[in-house]
Amino acid sequence: MTDQTTPDNTQATKPLMVRCPSCGDTVPYRLDNPYRPFCSKGCKAIDLGAWASEEYRVEAKPNPEDLIG
């Protein structure tokens, strides 16, 4: 994934708002959110599932924890 949103604020006054690629909801881009830029674990799992099914067509789902960091 490419990070097209480069925050210019060094002050953490305003949270950077991003749109969840999965459900389209607007959520604050928080560094302490392990599911960013998704709004939740569920949305990230959905996206990973779609990605995996398109790219690999495997039956076993990837472990999202392995892709963090």
Q: How far is the CB of 6 from Zn ion (least distance, A)?
A: 22
Helix/strand/coil for 54:
helix
Considering only residues 38 through 67, tell me which ones interact with Zn ion, judged by CB under 5 A: 39, 43
Helix/strand/coil for 26:
strand
Helix/strand/coil for 29:
strand
Check binding of 18 to Zn ion (CB under 5 A).
no
Q: Could you say which of 18, 22, 37, 44 contacts Zn ion (CB under 5 A)? A: 22
- Sorted by sequence, the CB contacts under 8 Å of residue 26 that are 6+ apart come out as 17, 18, 19, 20
Question: How much is the CA Rg of the chain, to the nearest whole Å?
Answer: 14
Q: How far is the CB of 11 from Zn ion (least distance, A)?
A: 27
Q: How far is the CB of 45 from Zn ion (least distance, A)?
A: 10
Q: Which residues of the chain form contacts with Zn ion (CB under 5 A)?
A: 20, 22-23, 25, 39, 43
